[in-house]
Structure 1
Amino acid sequence: MELGDLLRQAQRLTNDTKMDDEMPRVDRTISQVLQATQELHSRVTLKGTRDLQAHMLLGSKGVDLPKLTQKLESLSARKTFEPLDPVSDTDVRAFLKNERENAILSVIDETNRGIFESVERQKWRRIYAEWGVEKRSLLNALVGPKQDEFPDVQRQTVSTILAENPTPRSLLNRTEELYAQQIIAYNQSKIQRGHRTNLLAAFTQLASDNFHDLLIAEMWSVLQFMVDNVTTSRTIDPLTSRLSSQQFVQQARAYLERRYRQYMNTVINENRVLAKRGGIPSAYSMVNAFVGITFVVPSSLVGLLDVNNNRPLWALVYYSLRCGDLGAACKFLHEVGVCQDLYRLLAMMKEGIKGDPYARLEGVLKLEYNSKLRCCTDPYKKAVYAYVLACDPQNSHPELMRSIDDFLWMQLSILRQDDDREYNIEQLTYSGLQRLILEKYGENYFNAREKVPLYFTVLVLTGQFESAIEFLARTEANRPHAVHMAIALNEIHMLGTPSSIHQPLLSANPKDPAPMKRLNLVRMLVTYAKCFELTNTTEAMQYYFLLRHFKDDNGTSLMLSCVSDLLVENCDQEMIELIFGHEADESNQSGIFAQFHTMDFDKYMLAGMVGDELAHRSNFETAIKLYFIGGQLDKVMRLVCSLLSQVVHQPPAESSMRNRLCQIIDQLDEMRSVMRVDVEPHVLATYSMLTQLLIFFDHYHNKDSQLATELLANYRITPNNCSEVDECVANLKRLGPEVAKVLPDILLAAMDLVYEEYVKLKGGSGSRSSFGSRDSTQTDDWKGVNREGSLRHLRTKAKALTNMAATVPYRMPTATNKRLVQLEILMH
């Protein structure tokens, strides 16, 4: 290759490698490239390459690795509670040390956990209370439009007279008030006369007379019709009896047949000229007239069989069955004289005859139906055979099913019990029909949101009371009706309820046949009554009375639990008097709870239960009021001891807790004089000591040094000399921990009294010591003691107080020890 060609090729390669970026070109010689390669290789192979790579990686993400390394090195891996070192089995000293430290750590951990949980509960309770106040303030702030925006409106002044004792406005509307009145009347009848009225019939009559809503009245009517004349028992599960009994199927068919008779009579009355209904009023004449009106047009007879005088035979038989009269159907068949086997089978059904002749005749007719009638052009004849033979559930008979009632009646007519099924033939069972309505078709098919009464009626007619009531309770307007339907069914033991009160509103038990559901009446009723328990407490209590037979997780009656929750959340004086009555009433008949005197529990049990919950929530003063009502004076004494230990050392002040406790103590002592109190000896001793300390601190704050000192000396609370320290400490151990809480204040007060006396004597006043004596002999001895002896005695007593502070097995506050030592030093 020539040099010129080589130069042109190099230029071409150079042009090809040129980049479009505006970066400056770097021209390097072969030696420079070799040098750069060697430097790069040395950096990669030298120690610290990984650090360099780490710097490059973290630097690309914005992390400063040197600073991060410094921060990590500054962290301390030492924990607050380091694990204990393992010890050998033979090292007893180390083993005991570890056990002691383990016990201390477990106590600290448990205490921290308990404090955290308590603070968390208090926090959320406070947050909910603040949210409630904020919501009420926001609702109160909502006002209507300003009158200035409507200048043409004539303003009229309406005189307003406020009641002397205003009561909160009821949250019950007219419908709910009417229901509540019926509940009150029902409960009073049960309590006073010992027997229950028919609550379902009372509600049905109420809906018919007072609600002025035909749809609501119809829903109550169908519910009452379905359970009318149905035997119930407390010992049998309602769902089991409902599925095993044919009464519900017969009741549903009877209801649909009654409605169709009403429809037929309405059509006949509207077309009396065409009907020509003469003769004796009966189902036979009614069906004859109705068919005459229905088939007045000749074209309507096309495809029908056995037509005589413009009246098709099978239509007459079908409508006779549709209105529930087998006798009329038999009469029509007998008059025409066709299908003698079917006539005999209908006659046997009418008479209720069962057995081998019935089974053989039924088998013959089934063969005839399967071989000939499946392709029959007369839909009425096919429907009659399907009804009589209870077969062919897949045939929906669309020519005849003009409404949901017709479809449901046909499905109910061809039902077979599980023990009566022929498994070689497809047949419909009761549970199969329920699944068809609830699951296959469901709410969308029936347009249930817009046609609430229709879907409710369909569910009730198929024996699904719980699902029907739950569906009705979803809308605000129908919820009161649903609640009271559930109450009425439960009172006659016809409502399926779950075993646990914590189940959802509608739940399924795996042991129940599908698609049966169970309705949580407790959840529904409590949610309903909670809305008005503050404004209509009497009515709410009547509803809670209906839950007296239900039990919560602790085995307590739910009525007791609901009323207890009401009082715990709203336990003011007005609510206590409303529930339990006034204290001045000696008959114990005032108060709402006194009305329910036939229960296994009374207001004393309720008061104790509420008091326990309030005490658990640290609302001690209100809990004491409830314990007084419940007569549980031992619990009152315990709470008084707990509260006194916190405020007994404080000076008296008006409306303070200390003064309120003084009133409670007076009331407690008065009741103890007429009532026996079973309480542990140490609690009684603690209570007695704290009440005496209350008197002591009253004297101390009133500057009655003589009386305060004598009280301490009489009860051996503090020592007079060092030899009495052990005795006073032993007396303190026999008392409850409440006295130990007050001990620092007692010692400080006693030391102040000693120092005050010391200052008086030191000043040369010559006044007699306020520590005059513990008995008359000592008093006589003290009269002749000189001033130095008195001062020495006061120093000895101060020393004894300091020794007692150091001897007691309780941790004294540092400030208390410091003050005691300072005063003792000042007396030397």
Structure 2
Amino acid sequence: MAGLGFDDLLQQAEQLTTTLDGGTELPRVQRNFQQLLDAGQRLCSKSNFGQDDAQIKASLLLSAQGKDVPKVSDRLKSLTPAQSFEPLETVCDTDIESFLKNERENAILAVVEEQKQKTYAEVEKRHWQTRLNAWEKEKQQILNKLIGNDGTMNFSQELTEQMSVSYYRSSVDTTSNPGSNMDSWELAYARQVHMYNDRIIEGGLPLNLSELCKNAAEKMKDKNLFSVWKMVNYLTDVAAGVGQFPSILAQRTSKSVLVAFIAQARKFLEDNYVEYMLNTVYARPHIAQRGGVPGTLNLVKSFLKVQPTHNLMQGYDDGEIDGIPLWAVIFYCLRCGDLDAAVDVAKQNEHIIPEFYTWIQEYAHNNGRKLSSASANKMKIQYKRSVSGSADPYKIAVYCIIGHCDVTDVHTEVAKRAEDYLWIKLSQVEVTDKPYADDLLTLYRLQTLLVDEYGESHFNAASNPLLYFQILMLTCQFEQAIEFLSRFEALRCHAVHIALALNVQEFLLTPLSLHAKMLTCDPVDNSACTIIKKLNLCRLIMMYTRKFELTDPREALNYFYFLRNVKSEGQSLLAHCTSELVRETGEFEMLLGKLNPDGSRKPGVIDKYCSKDKEQLRKLISKVAADTEAKGLHEDAVHLHDLCGNHDQTLTLLNRLLSMVISSSDDSHPDRSRLKHLSLSIAERYRNHAVETSQLLRSTFHLLLDLVSFFDLYHANRVEQALDVMRELQILPSSTEQVHSKVTAFKLYSDDIRQNIANILLATMNLLVRQCKVQQNLNKSVVTKTGDSVFANARQYARALITFAGMLPYHLPGDATARLVQLEVQLN
């Protein structure tokens, strides 16, 4: 063909044209290019390649399984009515074959329809169950983050202006500690908690946390809260321990323990009333005329002179003592808790009340303050016959207290305050397994009466929350009392520390689930003796510390230490809270410590709580490191893994971080310089101290550091030094003979190296181009053989890089390959 001229080609073309024209019956069609293009597009639009291709593939698949495609298609067409899964219509009864066939198909369709409905129902059920579970978890997280919120979405009520400013303030008083979110009360409590924890950590006998908090209240000079802590001290002074019972629940439902709680509550009210009487007498000494005679009887007489009771008396027949009604003196002796004084008064008037003297003597000498059945029955008979209709309210009250005569009477003329009413009821209450026994005021009935029938509105709890709190506490409803007090933001710190004081004494009931509401009631734990509810102490502590954990992380850790024995996901809740605290505050070094350049560790705040168990400390820091890594804070996680001795994980994260920045320059990537210095310091320390790590991780780490040095030289335009570093690393082939061996070696590199191979190839190729340009500029002035050898070596190097890139078992970006080819062309 090369020897043919234009004339010969023209002759052959004419012969081909003649051949087409001759001997054919088809008409000759003449079209230009546009007409041919339009015809082709019309033909293309008429054919559905995707559908035909799908049908062909389906036919091949069914044929490979031995299915006859035409027959299958016919059978499917015959079942067309079944697409809606509706029963087929019945046929004539005489057509047995068609009838049976129809019934069979109807049965099949019914089964399919039933299964379809079951599937839809199951899918919908699981869908909503999943959605509800997800919402429940989200709701719990929101509740945990809301300060001032209880478990039932009952937000704290606004405090009225009538409340005392001393402990009902809404603003934070930080004058004693500027820069802190803790007010003076919270700081005072925190100091006591710090003292308590220090004694526990030192291994000494634990201090009385309730006593410590009472001392704090005394220093704050708040009488109301001092009285609250005095009450808590009385209640925690019950001689009971969980060691005698299988559980705290068994202890709290024990009759003996409940009786002891009631006795302590009654004693608290009696001692408080003695103080009240003394203050009243000392306030008006000229009227009281107490003199120098000590004793309860003289105090009662002086008190009744200051607050006379004659206005309550329309008439009395049982005499008087020094002008004071007899029954009033006996009542107030009982109110002060001095039974011996009441017995002396009855003895002096035995000639007037002989039977009562016998009963009160028996009542006083019984440790349980309870009459025998015979005496109680006699006293109740006498009460119904003569005493119930008496005009003396004190006589009625005394009979009801000692003989438990009428437990429904509220004694409004005698019980002038809520404390008086509660003392009378506690004097009548009995602990029994029959909560609604006739003629008995059981503890269960009293608790139900105060909470369900009277409730918060009756006691005006919103305006005077401490009163309602004391009523709940004194009736052995500790959990409800603390939950109620915690609703008020200004009183939450007191509720938290009261809960801690009860918890360390093992008197507080807590739920098993950490995600439970603030106050829960499990029907399984019901008791006939008392109402049982559980307080989520963990949530209460975390809700309380969230206010100041960012500004006072040390104090927050002190409270988290109380959660050290609570397990969550197999780990101590202390570790979970510490992990969150470290991540929220960012105070890694202050809380967890740091490593010095010589490899020694500088202790952190957390060391105080793990001083006796280094393995526990390591696990705690490891937990924080894992959580920090899961949150995506990889650089912080590097420090933490290194701190707890997880050297392999330290190198793993460092390799991951370095691989993302090695090809950049320090100026273009702000994190590169910091990561480089961190990696170099760790590498030097690991080498000096011979730290054992995985060989693969260590080799990858050092190779990445070398690549960092290579790219530093590359960006600094130090061509020869950068090329020398790359030759020493032996990652890339410098000749075609090395390509196969380098490709094989490339397979052994980790992904941290392989994902940067495109940047390494481009940087090396750019260096070769720069080297040739520099040499070319030198050759313009002086022609040397060295210049020719530089060009030859660069071309050989570039050809090897192109071949290496093409043989890599790794997908390179398309623009990288194109760029490599362009740079290689510049060398020719």
Deviations 1:609-643 (A, max 9, x none): 33333333333333323333333322221122112
The residue that corresponds to 1:617 in the other structure is 631
- Alpha carbons 1:314, 1:384 under 8 Å: kept: yes
Deviations 1:473-527 (A, max 9, x none): 3334333333322233323223333323333333334334474433333333333
Report the residue type matching 1:519 in the other structure.
Answer: L
For 1:440, which of 439, 450, 453 is the aligned residue? 453
The whole-number CA distance in structure 2 between the counterparts of 1:691 and 1:648 is 8
For 1:171, which of 157, 181, 185 is the aligned residue? 181
Secondary structure at 1:348's aligned position in 2? helix
Change (3 A) 1:767 1:639: farther
Report the residue type matching 1:429 in the other structure.
Answer: T
The residue that corresponds to 1:693 in the other structure is 707
The residue that corresponds to 2:563 in the other structure is 547
- Alpha carbons 1:685, 1:735 under 8 Å: kept: no
- Alpha carbons 2:592, 2:621 under 8 Å: kept: no
The residue that corresponds to 2:539 in the other structure is 523
- Deviation of the 1:580 alpha carbon: 1.8
Report the residue type matching 2:555 in the other structure.
Answer: E
- Alpha carbons 2:625, 2:640 under 8 Å: kept: yes
For 1:742, which of 756, 761, 764 is the aligned residue? 756
Change (3 A) 1:260 1:706: closer
Deviations 1:172-210 (A, max 9, x none): 3333332222222333333335332112112212212x2
The residue that corresponds to 1:804 in the other structure is 804
Gaps of 5+ in 1: 1-77, 95-116, 122-127, 129-166, 770-786
Report whether the alignment pairs 1:306 with 2:321.
Answer: no
Report the residue type matching 1:556 in the other structure.
Answer: Q
The residue that corresponds to 1:6 in the other structure is none
The whole-number CA distance in structure 2 between the counterparts of 1:403 and 1:277 is 25
The residue that corresponds to 1:532 in the other structure is 548
- Alpha carbons 2:520, 2:534 under 8 Å: kept: yes
The residue that corresponds to 2:99 in the other structure is none
- Deviation of the 1:433 alpha carbon: 1.5
- Alpha carbons 2:313, 2:391 under 8 Å: kept: no
The residue that corresponds to 2:225 in the other structure is 216
The whole-number CA distance in structure 1 between the counterparts of 2:459 and 2:695 is 73
Change (3 A) 1:717 1:361: same
The whole-number CA distance in structure 2 between the counterparts of 1:319 and 1:213 is 28
Change (3 A) 1:168 1:627: farther
Deviations 1:62-116 (A, max 9, x none): xxxxxxxxxxxxxxxx99xx9997996885999xxxxxxxxxxxxxxxxxxxxxx
- Alpha carbons 2:199, 2:205 under 8 Å: kept: yes
Secondary structure at 1:478's aligned position in 2? helix
Q: What is the identity percentage for the equivalent residue pairs of Structure 1 and Structure 2? A: 30
The residue that corresponds to 1:642 in the other structure is 656
- Alpha carbons 1:456, 1:472 under 8 Å: kept: yes
Deviates more, 1:431-440 or 1:650-659: 650-659
The whole-number CA distance in structure 1 between the counterparts of 2:192 and 2:66 is 77
Report the residue type matching 1:730 in the other structure.
Answer: T
The residue that corresponds to 1:398 in the other structure is 412
The residue that corresponds to 2:608 in the other structure is 595
* Aligned residues between the structures: 658
The residue that corresponds to 1:663 in the other structure is 677
TM-score under structure 2 length normalisation = 0.69
The whole-number CA distance in structure 1 between the counterparts of 2:197 and 2:737 is 71
Report whether the alignment pairs 1:569 with 2:584.
Answer: yes
Report the residue type matching 1:819 in the other structure.
Answer: R
- 1:223-262 equivalences under 5 Å are 223-233=232-242, 237-238=247-248, 240-244=250-254, 245=257, 246-262=259-275
Change (3 A) 1:585 1:343: farther
The residue that corresponds to 2:214 in the other structure is 204
- Alpha carbons 2:594, 2:643 under 8 Å: kept: no
Gaps of 5+ in 2: 1-49, 68-133, 139-144, 146-176
Change (3 A) 1:722 1:227: same
Secondary structure at 2:488's aligned position in 1? coil
Secondary structure at 1:261's aligned position in 2? helix
- Alpha carbons 1:634, 1:677 under 8 Å: kept: no
Secondary structure at 2:265's aligned position in 1? helix
- Deviation of the 1:447 alpha carbon: 1.3
- Alpha carbons 1:470, 1:505 under 8 Å: kept: yes
- 1:434-473 equivalences under 5 Å are 434-473=447-486
For 1:488, which of 501, 506, 521 is the aligned residue? 501
The whole-number CA distance in structure 2 between the counterparts of 1:264 and 1:201 is 25
Report the residue type matching 1:642 in the other structure.
Answer: R
Report the residue type matching 1:474 in the other structure.
Answer: R
Change (3 A) 1:251 1:236: farther
Report the residue type matching 1:659 in the other structure.
Answer: S
- Alpha carbons 2:435, 2:445 under 8 Å: kept: no
- Deviation of the 1:562 alpha carbon: 2.8
Change (3 A) 1:580 1:91: farther
The residue that corresponds to 1:71 in the other structure is none
- Alpha carbons 1:305, 1:313 under 8 Å: kept: no
The whole-number CA distance in structure 2 between the counterparts of 1:296 and 1:653 is 91
Deviates more, 1:366-375 or 1:756-765: 756-765
Q: CA RMSD of the aligned region, Å?
A: 4.3
Secondary structure at 1:172's aligned position in 2? coil
- 1:99-498 equivalences under 5 Å are 169-192=179-202, 194-208=204-218, 210-233=219-242, 237-238=247-248, 240-244=250-254, 245=257, 246-265=259-278, 281-287=294-300, 297=310, 300-302=312-314, 304-307=316-319, 312-334=325-347, 335-337=349-351, 342-352=356-366, 358-370=372-384, 373-419=387-433, 425-498=438-511
Deviates more, 1:811-820 or 1:82-91: 82-91
Change (3 A) 1:278 1:684: closer
The whole-number CA distance in structure 2 between the counterparts of 1:291 and 1:826 is 115
The whole-number CA distance in structure 1 between the counterparts of 2:571 and 2:435 is 50
Report the residue type matching 1:321 in the other structure.
Answer: L
The whole-number CA distance in structure 2 between the counterparts of 1:690 and 1:238 is 59
The whole-number CA distance in structure 2 between the counterparts of 1:585 and 1:541 is 29
- Deviation of the 1:251 alpha carbon: 0.7
- Alpha carbons 2:664, 2:711 under 8 Å: kept: yes
Change (3 A) 1:372 1:614: same
- Deviation of the 1:578 alpha carbon: 6.3
Report the residue type matching 1:466 in the other structure.
Answer: E
Report the residue type matching 2:212 in the other structure.
Answer: A
- Deviation of the 1:713 alpha carbon: 4.4
The whole-number CA distance in structure 2 between the counterparts of 1:339 and 1:563 is 68
Change (3 A) 1:455 1:808: same
- Alpha carbons 2:595, 2:643 under 8 Å: kept: no
- Deviation of the 1:767 alpha carbon: 4.9
The whole-number CA distance in structure 2 between the counterparts of 1:729 and 1:818 is 20
- Deviation of the 1:714 alpha carbon: 4.7
